[in-house]
A and B are shown apart, each in its own frame.
Chain A
Amino acid sequence: MFDVQKIKQDFSIFKNNIDLVYLDSAATSLKPDVVIRAMNEYYEKYPYSIGRGSYSMAQKAVQKYEDSRQTIANFLNVDYLEVIFTRSTTSAINNIANSLEDQFQEGDEIIVTNLEHHSNFLPWQQLSQKKNLKLVIVSAKNKAIDLNDIYDKITPRTKLIAIHHMSNVIGDVVDVKELCENVKDKDILCLVDGAQAVPHMQVDVANIGCDFYIFSGHKALGPTGVGVAFIKKEVMNKLKPFEYGGDMVEASSVDYHTYRPKAGFEKFEAGTPSIAEVIGLGAAIKYLKKIGPDKIHEHEVALKKYALEKLKLIKNKVTIYNEEFENGLLTFNINDVAVHDAVSASLVNEVTFDSANIALRDGQLCNNLTMKYVLGETSVLRASFYLYNSYEDIDALINQINKIYDAWH
């Protein structure tokens, strides 16, 4: 039995906003108190820089920071040296795209799909335009990616495949392990955007076998301002550093610099990092692991199933776009009600999700490709479920859908 009421006690937000119905975790998750405490503890008890001073007080900060790296390495089943802290998924993918620049020649090809979030599309579009590469876009079939459509697009010039693990609008899960296995002999790099996957399913990156795996802290119960980029050791050697600055070189002078010998992540973490946030993310991942991503996934699927049963009774009032996918995302529209009118009040509408203290996402979800080419819509509503959501939250959602529909009809 998944005890939501017990879980809610771990999140102070539910004490501060008692009636909160939070259905926007795919945008950003709420943060358990253990995460906030871990960050506060850093600032209150050992707020020192890491990797610089040799005084003993700073050692605790170093130890906690590196403990987080080890926690995340264990969680993803990768080597500690392969875990790089970045600002976010967006920042990580942009940095990787920039670092790869010298690896690609004019006419080389990058494959993406039309289910990608902007953060895993625009950096590749940008790089392709800059270096005259061919950006090949694989279209979803029945709102998901058929791997054969990717294989069909591979040519001798294909250098990289950038793909989501779980998409942010539909929530389809790509079999990235099979994809990586099938292309591993072809000298093609595989980058997996795991921003939506890591918070909601058990991810074994070593087993997937990709070259890059990225996720954000803030969607996985952690703080904003920190993300993780796994980069395979062999691939790290080919890449330029993301940035240049302190704490990354072994030696430097007016006309040269060399990177630290057993570098791994060090080559990619110039400057003082977000120390508190990294420590907070470590606490988040420990919490996530304790509850169990697979159990969370089961809970989300059960909530969605319950919501779909309820929505069947009012099927003339709503259009659902991802009914067939087992996940915690419910992407829909209330028929003949503009999404902004459903969410946000004005002088002509008082009944909204907002007025019922329900937080959910409206608009294009940072994913114009899916909106335009897969769903054929200009905007949608998305309710996303997570470990702290209850069946009562679903009842509140359905109740408000009814009220909003009735207010406009």
Chain B
Amino acid sequence: MNEQELHKQIILSHYKEPQNKVDSLPEGYLIQKGVNPSCGDELELYIKLNGDTIEDVKYNGSGCSICCASASILTQEVKNKSIPKVISNSHKFEQMLKGEEFTEDVFEDAIAFKGIANFPARFKCAFLPWKTLSDLLTKKE
């Protein structure tokens, strides 16, 4: 399987079987909402902090395959990482989506979105979960 096909499979598997998706706000979690008003992507991130560490992230929402898979992958990528680290990774994720140079080794499944650089119309979809999380973390910092 080539890299492109592998990335496609990662995204589709998260879209079809989302990780850490819940129906409502769990107790003890902070909430942050994100929307892409033009296309209808709607997201709620539920974040549990422990000091400056992200202990857990869950989400609820609906949208396209790219947005939903990105949310699912995000919940895995940021777990047990520090707030500054996640803000920094969010910036790197944005650089990757835009086709700019970035440090690859910080990502696990999130690397699957590298090819979005060829689909600029889908940037907003892939970035919404990360932007939503950054919005909350920047406030906390």
With contact pairs A340-B125, A364-B37 given, residues A346 and B42 touching in the complex (Cβ less than 8 Å) = no
Bound-state CA distance A362–B63 (Å) is 12
Interface string of A357-392 (1 = CB under 8 A from B): 000001110001001000000110000000000000
B40 and A378 contacting across the interface, CB-CB below 8 Å: yes
Interface string of A198-218 (1 = CB under 8 A from B): 000000000000000000000
Residue of B nearest to A362 (CB): B39
A348 and B12 contacting across the interface, CB-CB below 8 Å: yes
Interface string of A331-354 (1 = CB under 8 A from B): 000000011110011111100000
B7 and A340 contacting across the interface, CB-CB below 8 Å: no
A340 and B116 contacting across the interface, CB-CB below 8 Å: no
Bound-state CA distance A275–B136 (Å) is 48
B115 and A363 contacting across the interface, CB-CB below 8 Å: no
CB distance from B43 to the nearest CB of A (A): 11
B65 and A345 contacting across the interface, CB-CB below 8 Å: no
- 9 A-B pairs with CB atoms under 8 Å apart are A338-B40, A340-B39, A340-B41, A340-B63, A340-B67, A348-B8, A349-B65, A362-B39, A363-B40
The residues of B that contact A341 with a CB separation of less than 8 Å are: 64-66
The bracket for how many chain B residues form the interface is 20 to 34
A340 and B64 contacting across the interface, CB-CB below 8 Å: yes
Bound-state CA distance A379–B40 (Å) is 5
The residues of A that contact B119 with a CB separation of less than 8 Å are: 344-347
CB distance from A20 to the nearest CB of B (A): 19
**Which 9 A-B pairs have CB atoms at the shortest separation, nearest pair first?**
A379-B40, A340-B64, A338-B64, A347-B115, A378-B40, A340-B39, A346-B122, A363-B39, A346-B119
B11 and A344 contacting across the interface, CB-CB below 8 Å: no
A340 and B12 contacting across the interface, CB-CB below 8 Å: no
A339 and B39 contacting across the interface, CB-CB below 8 Å: yes
B121 and A378 contacting across the interface, CB-CB below 8 Å: no
The residues of A that contact B122 with a CB separation of less than 8 Å are: 340, 344, 346
Is B118 in the interface zone, CB < 8 Å from A? yes
Interface residues of B in 97-124 (CB under 8 A from A): 115-116, 118-119, 121-122
Residues of chain A touching chain B, judged by Cβ–Cβ distance below 8 Å, are 338-341, 344-349, 362-364, 368, 371, 378-379
Residue from the list B64, B68, B118 in contact with A347, Cβ < 8 A = B118
A346 and B37 contacting across the interface, CB-CB below 8 Å: no
Bound-state CA distance A363–B64 (Å) is 11
Residue of B nearest to A371 (CB): B40
B63 and A338 contacting across the interface, CB-CB below 8 Å: yes
Is B4 in the interface zone, CB < 8 Å from A? yes
The residues of A that contact B121 with a CB separation of less than 8 Å are: 344
The residues of A that contact B125 with a CB separation of less than 8 Å are: 340, 346
A338 and B38 contacting across the interface, CB-CB below 8 Å: no
Which DSSP category, helix, strand, loop or mixed, fits chain B's interface? Answer: helix
The residues of A that contact B12 with a CB separation of less than 8 Å are: 348
With contact pairs A338-B65, A340-B64 given, residues A347 and B7 touching in the complex (Cβ less than 8 Å) = yes
CB distance from A403 to the nearest CB of B (A): 16
Is B62 in the interface zone, CB < 8 Å from A? yes
Determine which residue in B15, B40, B116 has the highest number of CB atoms from chain A within 10 A of its CB, and name it. B40
Residue from the list A347, A349, A378 in contact with B42, Cβ < 8 A = A378
B38 and A364 contacting across the interface, CB-CB below 8 Å: yes
Interface string of B5-22 (1 = CB under 8 A from A): 001100110010000000
A348 and B65 contacting across the interface, CB-CB below 8 Å: yes
The residues of B that contact A378 with a CB separation of less than 8 Å are: 40, 42, 62-63
With contact pairs A338-B64, A339-B64, A340-B63 given, residues A348 and B38 touching in the complex (Cβ less than 8 Å) = no
Determine which residue in A339, A341, A363, A371 has the highest number of CB atoms from chain B within 10 A of its CB, and name it. A341
Residue of A nearest to B12 (CB): A348
B65 and A339 contacting across the interface, CB-CB below 8 Å: no
CB distance from B65 to the nearest CB of A (A): 5
Give 7 new A-B contacts, CB below 8 A, not counting A346-B119, A364-B37: A338-B65, A340-B122, A344-B121, A345-B119, A346-B116, A363-B37, A363-B39
Determine which residue in B42, B67, B115, B119 has the highest number of CB atoms from chain A within 10 A of its CB, and name it. B119
Determine which residue in A349, A368, A371 has the highest number of CB atoms from chain B within 10 A of its CB, and name it. A349
B39 and A348 contacting across the interface, CB-CB below 8 Å: no
The residues of A that contact B63 with a CB separation of less than 8 Å are: 338, 340, 378
CB distance from B13 to the nearest CB of A (A): 10
The residues of B that contact A338 with a CB separation of less than 8 Å are: 40, 62-65, 67-68
CB distance from B18 to the nearest CB of A (A): 13
Residue of A nearest to B126 (CB): A346
The residues of B that contact A346 with a CB separation of less than 8 Å are: 65-66, 116, 119, 122, 125
Bound-state CA distance A70–B42 (Å) is 47
Bound-state CA distance A337–B67 (Å) is 13
Residue of A nearest to B122 (CB): A346
Determine which residue in A340, A341, A345 has the highest number of CB atoms from chain B within 10 A of its CB, and name it. A340
Residue of A nearest to B68 (CB): A338
Bound-state CA distance A341–B8 (Å) is 14
Bound-state CA distance A362–B7 (Å) is 26
CB distance from A341 to the nearest CB of B (A): 5
